[in-house]
Each structure stands twice: as structure tokens, then as C-alpha cells.
Amino acid sequence: MAERVFVTGGSGFVGSHVLAELLAAGFEVRALVRSPNGAKGAAQRHVRNVERVEGDLQNVGAWAGALRGCRYVVHCAALYSFSPRDRAAVRRVNVLGTAGLVEAARIARVERIVLTSSSATLGAARDGRPRTEQDFASEGPGAGYHHSKLEQERAAFAGRVPVVALLPTAPVGPGDWKPTPTGRMILDFARGKMFARPPRGGLNLVAVEDVARAHVTALRDGMQGERYVLGCENLLLDDVWKLLAELTGRQLPALRVPDALVLALAYADEARCRVLPNAQPFVPVEGARMARELRFADSAKAKRELRFHASPVRDALQRALSWYREHGYLAS
């Protein structure tokens, strides 16, 4: 008899790939969706094989009974917003919703939860050393999205169900329909909207398919209470743009905007968002700060304990660009 997994966030970028990998591995999947048409992205073609449960992480009690009969939970869902107006909602969903889910899983006798966290919880590599699972981001000012992921981890580990936390770096690949900030960077570059070079920061990129496969492995082989970084290549932003230039045939911009100016524009943009209803930031303060830092990470632990294998980032970027062209985001 197939084991049943309850999945949250199955319509998201990472979650849709996780859902597909679970089905391919022979699991029965019961997925939380926010509406009857809640499956998007890569999950769309698998929706007939998934039992859907309509609900929202701000009201876990309304659908908690759906966890009965599930051996595992994979918690990919999160509210991703950099708008200052959404910060209270981000905490309700990412932190309080996670705490409620863990308690509901305990009552339903779920054996294990795999949590999709983020490498943003590790902080920046200010000493030149890539971050590992032993590192944690500083608390810092404000209470934005990335801080909520740190609080989400704490809420999950504080519960009474065994939890394994996976910390993807910046996933890239097909199916980033919303898109994520990394997907937006790829799209904007391919559309010729980048008129200046990026700040002198760096990040780690990883293929989304590799991240999804690691979720399946972690269900059985991840160590209870442990965190695992899932990344591939540490790259300066300049190097990422060079790769995109090669793949798209576009020229690299010659001008570089000073970091101080980018941050000033971000604060001005945040002020605009506080005043105008429904406004979304073009230059998020969180993103402007992070773009100046080296967000490098080390996945050695996941390689040892989860047999994590990361495929080339260049190929993942090419798959992302091909998917955007095939789905009308880019001209063919």
C-alpha cells in the first residue's frame, strides 16, 4: 500500500516540483490548495493524481482533519511578499500557520515533517566563509519575509513532531510561473530590462529539480531535528549575468549603479508602498540589502547524509529560459 503525504504549497515553484517527485516515487499525495483551481506550474499536469484539500494556513483548524491517514507532511507553503503592508500577514502564514500545522500533525499522528525553509536563514558570508547549517542570520531590523523564515524554523522545531528542515539557496529552472525574485531577474535580463550592472554581491544557485528530489529523500533519510543546505554554485552576481548574457545573446550593461543609490531607491520605494494602496515594491529593501552581500553556502552535509547531487546551474538557467519562451513569457 502506498504511503500518503500531505503537501502544502504544491502550486508554488518548488512545491510543484516536489509534488511531481513524490508522485514519481510512488507516494499518494493529498495537497492543500487555496482554491478549487489551485494547482499551477509544474503541478498542473499531475492534478488528476492528487487529492486536493481546500484551505488556508491562516485557518489550519478548518482543514486539520485532512491530515488523518497521512504518514508524512511536506510543508512548502509560505507567503512571499516584500510589501511593508503584508508583514503582519507574512508572519501569520509563515510562523503562526506553521506552528498550527505542526500541532495538527501531532494530533493526526504524522511521523515526520519536511519543512522547506530557506538559505536566507543562514545570513551572509561576511567572513568569506560559505554559510553552513551551523549559521543563523542576525535578527536585524524589521520583520520581513526572510526573518519570517527564521521564525518559521523555530516554530517547526518547537513542536512535538520530528522535523527535518531543508534550506534551498536560490532555485532556478522550469515552472517559475509567478515568478520568484530569481526568476524575475532571469526574465528581466532576457527581456532587455537590465540597464545597469548588479551590486557587487553574490548568491548560490541550484536547480529546482535537485531541490525537489532532496525533499523525497529527506522523508526517509533526513535526521530528525537537522537542517540541510541545498545549493550548487556560489556565484558573484556579475558571473550570473555573464551566464545569462551567453544564454540569451544580450549584452552586459556597462554602467553600475552605486550600492548606496540602490538602497536609497529601495527606501523611497518602500515609502511609496506605505502610502499607495495595493502597491508592490519595485526595489525591495530586503532585496537591496541582500544584493550587496555574499550569500554563499555549503551543501556538504546534504551530500553526505541525503546523497544530494546538484546538477550544473548553467543547464538549469537554460531550462528556465526555455520554459519562459514556451509559455509566452518571452518572445520565441
User: Is residue 161 situated within a structural domain?
Assistant: yes
SS3 label, residue 63: coil
pLDDT at 177: 93
User: Is residue 145 situated within a structural domain?
Assistant: yes
Count of residues making up the chain? 332
The domain containing residue 215 runs over which residues? 4-177+205-236+297-314
> Model's pTM, two decimal places?
0.93
DSSP letter, residue 198: P
Mean pLDDT by 10 residues, the chain (332 residues): 91 95 96 67 58 94 96 95 84 96 98 97 88 88 79 97 98 95 93 86 96 97 97 96 96 86 82 80 78 92 97 98 96 77
pLDDT at 278: 77
**Among 193, 173, 174, 170, CA closest to 182:** 170
Report the phi/psi class of residue 307: left, alpha or beta, with left for phi > 0 and alpha for psi in -120 to 50: left
Q: Find the CATH number of the domain harbouring 62.
A: 3.40.50.720
pLDDT at 53: 94
pLDDT at 98: 98
User: Is residue 186 situated within a structural domain?
Assistant: no
User: Is residue 187 situated within a structural domain?
Assistant: no
Contacts of 49 (CB under 8 A, 6+ apart): 23, 29
User: Is residue 125 situated within a structural domain?
Assistant: yes
User: Is residue 81 situated within a structural domain?
Assistant: yes
- CB 172 within 8 Å of CB 205: yes
User: CA–CA separation, 303 vs 298, rounded Å?
Assistant: 10
- CB 219 within 8 Å of CB 73: no
| Number of independent structural domains in the chain | 1
User: Is residue 127 situated within a structural domain?
Assistant: yes
User: CA–CA separation, 146 vs 79, rounded Å?
Assistant: 11
User: Is residue 165 situated within a structural domain?
Assistant: yes
- The residue type of 319 is R
pLDDT at 42: 45
